[in-house]
Chain A
Amino acid sequence: MPNSSLLQLENLVVEIPTRRGLLTPVNGVSFNVNQGEILGVVGESGAGKSITGTAITGLLERPARIAGGKILLEGKDLSKLSNDEMRPIRGKEIGAIFQDPLTSLNPLMTVGEQLTETALVHLNIQRREARERALQALIDVGIPAAENRLNGYPHEFSGGMRQRVVIALALIGEPKLIIADEPTTALDVSVQAQVLGLLRQLCRERNTGVMLITHDMGVIAETTDRVAVLYAGRVVEIGSTRRVLTQPRHPYTQGLVAATPTTAVSSGAPKRLNQIPGAMPGLMNIPDGCPFHPRCEYKLPACVESVPVLRTDDKGTLACHLTEGVNLV
């Protein structure tokens, strides 16, 4: 299948004016999501991953606003659209999955009603057919005895089942792109793998692109095709998952990989988990130049002065003054 670029972010900037000053949680983020692939967007809490996702769906809440850059969905720039213009796109072309399945579902409506309602909005069908689609959606996500479960309320489902319902809701409009924001963080570890596997399978089947936001490198390793690493509102590295995990080029990525139990163990004898000293700066305290330089062991004078540009070469995409990157020894 031809891999065409489904979603293209070009230098996206999101600003939040506050009483204490202007915050820029997303400061020039660029990456692509292709049809049929799963792109992981990884970073610590506060790196700007979730806000990027929210900006793409046009659901930023005042006073946050898109201040620059482009969000191209198959060539159409979403950043300029009004709320009324975005609405037909939501659910139909872009679907969203949030972190907590319990609070994502209306506790007073049956699961069937919520599915049917969504189907009616996006597909040009009658109520009867919408209900059948709802049933089919539940079956597709692997809910047993789906017909009985249609009339169930969210609190009657277990956590993993609930997230499956959420996935069903996101997919029922047949969107081309799914933005999944920490979809398994609120679930038990044993259930996480199932849900992620389901997501992968469904998206492969429908050739849907997925932007999977997470802070968990384990999830990245298991589920994604490519990964983009975010730090303090900027992209520091992008590449295929395999390559990034085995040969990370950016010092931050290197630190992340080394600090993850699974990857550290799998590459040989169990080593000491490396911590990256220091902490990611808060939005009010972002340093000049490369935001990572205070914690970077390979710091150059240039790093303090100017922000490294995101450049793509034959090995991948990188934003670092050490243009060749660092190699994991």
Chain B
Amino acid sequence: MPAYIIRRFLQGAMVLAIVGLIAFCMFRFMGDPFENILGQEATVADRIALEARLGLDKPIYVQYWRFIGGALQGEFGVSYRNGIPVAEMIAQRLPATLELALVSALFALFLGIVLGVYTAINREGFLANFIMTTSLIGVSLPTFIIGILLIWVFAVELGWLPSFGRGETGILFGWNSSLVTWSGLKSLILPSITLGLYQMTLVMRLVRSEMLEILRADYIRFARARGLSDRAVNFGHALKNTLLPVITIIGIQLGQIIAFAIITETVFQWPGVGLLFINAVNFVDVPIMATYLLLVGTLFVCINLVVDLLYVFIDPRLRFDSSKSR
């Protein structure tokens, strides 16, 4: 087992190294910091001075080293558009995205599991079939259309919920949170449904198909033959075994949610890092793009690693050395 963990660590480290390399190349070779920072009337002397200040006159590997060193210390350069340090901009907007992502993930997971179990147990029921058909639509529609549709119905026509922005925020555990104000909560509803809907349908379908397959297993048959009640069989035996593969996709889910947050934040003008990123791409603001890449890459690698470790911890079959089983 330790070998397995070490291997995953190494893989993660390699991905990070490559991501770091790409980010560095972006910083170094793309865009024109001179024009943005100095303006169009820069003289040659100004350029040389700036070059020295930014360390662009040193050899490549030194620059890369300084880049990594800087990154590890939280120093990511300044935005090409407005000169504000990237780290500051990201820190300011990260809570919004994280909150949105978390709420969406919980929504997707909880509802997905509940519906998945329901449609598996009540396979033939009318409601179950209806849910399955609607889920097909949920999977096919692009996220932004869902968002716009929700805005249309709930904000424009019904006027129940706000159509953009985060509402008022309050302080929760030291950062700005929408969870503590009423307007904040209302603003959170439509975006998190939009963001979570696709993932919810995925979870639901996975749970359903896993559970259906498990309910056909020999040990379920044996459990029934021993006289265990339907409840004990469905929830005590089948559900536990179903949740195991679901855990593996949680990691991918979180990753996808963070990526798709870009779309949701754009539709709802939600002030998170996703919106920051897309604006940066539009204006070729390289430092922000590169830093976002680094950040997201690190996040993904960490998430995947945690999920792998979790899996090992939960499945007793993986916990032991294979040489031990006789």
Q: Is the CB of A153 within 8 A of B229?
A: no
A98-B218, A108-B241, A156-B325 given; A170·B316 CB < 8 A: no
Q: Is the CB of B221 within 8 A of A98?
A: yes
Kindly state the separation between the CA atoms of A122 and B227 in the bound complex, as whole angstroms.
Answer: 8
Kindly state the separation between the CA atoms of A96 and B227 in the bound complex, as whole angstroms.
Answer: 10
Please report which residues of chain A, range 77-120, place their CB below 8 angstroms from some CB of chain B when the two chains form the complex.
Answer: 87-92, 95-96, 98, 100, 103-109, 117-118
- What does the 1/0 interface line of B300-326 toward A look like (CB < 8 Å)? 000000000000000111001000111
Q: Which one of B218, B228, B316, B324 contacts A108 once the chains associate, using CB atoms below 8 Å?
A: B316
Q: Which residues of B contact A209 (CB under 8 A)?
A: none
Q: Which residues of B contact A67 (CB under 8 A)?
A: none
A: number of interface residues (CB 8 Å): 32
Q: Is the CB of A106 within 8 A of B221?
A: no
- What does the 1/0 interface line of A168-202 toward B look like (CB < 8 Å)? 01100100000000000000000000000000000
Q: Which residues of B contact A156 (CB under 8 A)?
A: 320, 324-326
Of B224, B236, B240, B315, most buried by chain A (CB within 10 Å of CB) is: B224
Q: Is the CB of B226 within 8 A of A121?
A: yes
Considering the complex, give the chain A residue whose CB is closest to the CB of B228: A121
Q: Is the CB of B226 within 8 A of A59?
A: no
Q: Is the CB of B227 within 8 A of A89?
A: yes
Chain A CB within 8 A of B244 CB: yes
Q: Is the CB of B226 within 8 A of A108?
A: no
Q: Which one of A90, A100, A153 contacts B225 once the chains associate, using CB atoms below 8 Å?
A: A90
B118 → chain A closest CB, angstroms: 20
B16 → chain A closest CB, angstroms: 33
Q: Which one of B221, B237, B324 contacts A109 once the chains associate, using CB atoms below 8 Å?
A: B237
Q: Which one of A108, A121, A155 contacts B227 once the chains associate, using CB atoms below 8 Å?
A: A121
A275 → chain B closest CB, angstroms: 33
Q: Is the CB of A95 within 8 A of B219?
A: no
Kindly state the separation between the CA atoms of A109 and B316 in the bound complex, as whole angstroms.
Answer: 9
Chain B CB within 8 A of A158 CB: yes
Kindly state the separation between the CA atoms of A121 and B228 in the bound complex, as whole angstroms.
Answer: 7
Please report which residues of chain A, range 197-238, place their CB below 8 angstroms from some CB of chain B when the two chains form the complex.
Answer: none
B: number of interface residues (CB 8 Å): 25
A151 → chain B closest CB, angstroms: 11
Q: Which residues of A contact B130 (CB under 8 A)?
A: none
Chain B CB within 8 A of A253 CB: no
A106-B237, A108-B240, A108-B244 given; A118·B228 CB < 8 A: yes
Q: Is the CB of A104 within 8 A of B218?
A: yes
Kindly state the separation between the CA atoms of A96 and B325 in the bound complex, as whole angstroms.
Answer: 26
Please report which residues of chain A, range 2-61, place their CB below 8 angstroms from some CB of chain B when the two chains form the complex.
Answer: 57, 59
Q: Is the CB of B317 within 8 A of A107?
A: yes
A304 → chain B closest CB, angstroms: 40
Q: Is the CB of B219 within 8 A of A106?
A: yes
Please report which residues of chain B, range 224-275, place their CB below 8 angstroms from some CB of chain A when the two chains form the complex.
Answer: 224-229, 232, 236-237, 240-241, 244
Chain A CB within 8 A of B136 CB: no
Q: Which residues of B contact A95 (CB under 8 A)?
A: 225-226
Chain A CB within 8 A of B217 CB: yes
Chain A CB within 8 A of B126 CB: no
Q: Which residues of A contact B218 (CB under 8 A)?
A: 98, 100, 103-104
Chain A CB within 8 A of B222 CB: yes
Q: Is the CB of B226 within 8 A of A88?
A: no
A155-B325, A158-B326 given; A107·B226 CB < 8 A: no
Q: Which residues of A contact B324 (CB under 8 A)?
A: 156
Chain A CB within 8 A of B223 CB: yes
Q: Which residues of A contact B320 (CB under 8 A)?
A: 156
Of B221, B237, B240, B241, most buried by chain A (CB within 10 Å of CB) is: B221
B296 → chain A closest CB, angstroms: 34
Kindly state the separation between the CA atoms of A218 and B156 in the bound complex, as whole angstroms.
Answer: 79
Q: Is the CB of A103 within 8 A of B217?
A: yes
Q: Is the CB of A170 within 8 A of B226?
A: yes
Please report which residues of chain B, range 165-209, place their CB below 8 angstroms from some CB of chain A when the two chains form the complex.
Answer: none
Of B218, B232, B237, most buried by chain A (CB within 10 Å of CB) is: B218
B interface residues with partner A (beta carbon < 8 Å): 217-219, 221-229, 232, 236-237, 240-241, 244, 315-317, 320, 324-326
A interface residues with partner B (beta carbon < 8 Å): 57, 59, 87-92, 95-96, 98, 100, 103-109, 117-118, 121-122, 153, 155-158, 166, 169-170, 173
A-B contact pairs, 24 of them (CB 8 A): A57-B225, A87-B227, A88-B227, A91-B226, A98-B218, A98-B221, A103-B217, A103-B219, A104-B218, A104-B222, A105-B219, A106-B223, A108-B241, A108-B316, A109-B237, A109-B240, A118-B226, A121-B232, A122-B227, A153-B316, A155-B325, A156-B325, A157-B326, A170-B226
